[in-house]
């Protein structure tokens, strides 16, 4: 059985099933295509998003700490 992939951030849980079935995928795909200047298929985008969920850090902090640090350094 493959490991369960999920990312928790301030009460929102992003897991593999949610990524694959999200109604926002077409919008995310459009933004990625416009900003990155690359033409991805929906399948490729889902693969990239799932790869992000799989990434592990070699340091000892929790994943949420890295996400929060990134958000503080790169506010919307």
Query: What's the whole-model pTM score?
Result: 0.52
Q: How many domains does the chain have?
A: 1
Please tell me the predicted confidence (pLDDT) of residue 40.
87
The whole-number mean pLDDT for each consecutive block of 10 residues of the chain, a chain of 76 residues, reads: 58 71 86 87 86 65 77 81
Please tell me the predicted confidence (pLDDT) of residue 59.
60
In a domain, 55, yes or no: yes
Buried-state track 35-68, b at ≥16 Cβ within 10 A, e below 16: eeeeeeeeeebbeebeeeeeeeeeeeeeeeeeee
In a domain, 62, yes or no: yes
- Give the structural domain span for 16: 6-73
List the one residue out of 61, 49, 59 whose CA is nearest residue 14: 49
In a domain, 1, yes or no: no
Please tell me the predicted confidence (pLDDT) of residue 10.
59
């Amino acid at each position: 059985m493959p490991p369960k992939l999920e990312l928790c951030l301030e009460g929102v849980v992003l897991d593999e099933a949610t990524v694959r079935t999200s109604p926002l995928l077409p919008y995310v795909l459009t933004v990625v295509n416009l900003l990155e200047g690359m033409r991805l298929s929906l399948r490729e985008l889902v693969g990239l998003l799932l790869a992000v969920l799989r990434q592990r850090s070699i340091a000892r902090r929790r994943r949420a700490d890295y996400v929060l640090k990134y958000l503080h350094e790169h506010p919307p």
